Amino acid sequence: MVWSFFSAQGWTANAVAGMLGNMVAESTINPGRWEIGQTGNPDAGFGLVQWTPASKLFSWLSANGYSNGSGEGQCRRIIWELNNGEQYYPTSQYPLTFKEFSQSTELPHRLASAFLYNYERPGDPEATETYRQNQADYWYEVITGQPVPPYNPPEGSMLPFIFWCKKKQLY
């Protein structure tokens, strides 16, 4: 459902995969999921991307004719956030705007990190970053039926070695 919705909005497979990598970590891609141990607490996280407080999401969903657990409603909320400059804030490490993110053809695992740092912003992003990156690559393959394309850095670049180290968590 997430891929169908966002691809119809013109998002790239790379961007949707990056976001899905985060949704797996946040909610197991379950729009009815509460933050662990917080079921029914309107101040806790809820939904595909664990909006916190849930009450803010619920108010928006209700005002727009959706139930709290509506996956379509939550996807529409993400589009509303994109169009209204809400929730997603570019960082120096990932300077993409939300619109640029949605159109990006950067590697899915890099976009997973961009979404993690620019949208999700958990207390300890590094604790789940590799998991989210791996999930993004997995979902890219599910969506496209193709393996993640190899990274082709500029000649003489140190980036491949740095990415390898990060993937292996050597620094």
Catalytic residues: 26
Q: What is the DSSP string of 105-149?
A: -S-HHHHHHHHIIIII--S-GGGTHHHHHHHHHHHHHHHHSSPPP
Determine contact, residues 15/111, Cβ cutoff 8 Å.
yes
Structure token digits, residue 112: 């997973």
Determine contact, residues 118/89, Cβ cutoff 8 Å.
yes
Q: Which pairs count as long-range contacts for 63-67, CB under 8 Å and 24+ apart, including other chains?
A: none
